[in-house]
Amino acid sequence: MKLAEFNTADPAVAAALLRPCIDVSRWVDALTTARPFASRAALLDFAASAANPLTPAEVDAALAHHPRIGDRPTAAGTEAAMSRSEQAGVDPADFAAADALAEGNRRYEAKFGRVFLIRAAGRTAPEILGALYERIENSPATEDAIVAQQLLEIAVLRLEGVISE
């Protein structure tokens, strides 16, 4: 959708466009309420800080929509398509990487009680694995802040893909 269309869209239409980026009502509401944006850059800048910091409940709700790194969603929806595109650097045919990701995911989930989340777009499997094993060593408080920031980075990246100048 072009920025001009987004700026003038019915609030429900604008919200429906934003939800696949991150399903956090406070973020979606902030962006729809702040319209019109003078430029795409202004929209993206605002989106990066809207609803920041995310609350623990918002993080949990948003994570419910994210597959494990290495598990490609098979659903047909917009969010699943975005996730598949973001994980393009993880080759499902690389069984060694898939096994290492699966083991890292198990360890991460055992420690933190949620899926490992990273902005995977533009990253290779070895880069993701390195970050996964590095972050397993974090304290829960440190990891909470990183996950919230990663969610916002993913949201902005996805927004870049749905709003054009």
Pick the closest to residue 119 from 52, 69, 75 (CA basis).
69
At residue 154, φ and ψ (nearest 5 deg) are: -65, -40
Q: How many domains would you assign to the chain?
A: 1
Q: What is residue 76's predicted lDDT score, i.e. its pLDDT?
A: 59
Integer Cα distance of 129 and 69 in angstroms: 9
Structural domain boundaries, residue 45:
3-162
Q: What is residue 105's predicted lDDT score, i.e. its pLDDT?
A: 94
Q: What's 101's domain CATH number?
A: 1.10.3330.10
Read off the amino acid at residue 89. Answer: G
Per-residue pLDDT of the chain (165 residues; tens, 9 = 90+): 999 999 999 999 999 999 999 999 999 999 999 999 999 999 999 999 999 999 999 999 999 878 888 776 555 566 655 554 555 556 665 778 888 998 999 999 999 999 999 998 889 889 999 999 999 999 999 999 999 999 999 999 999 999 999
Q: What is residue 91's predicted lDDT score, i.e. its pLDDT?
A: 61
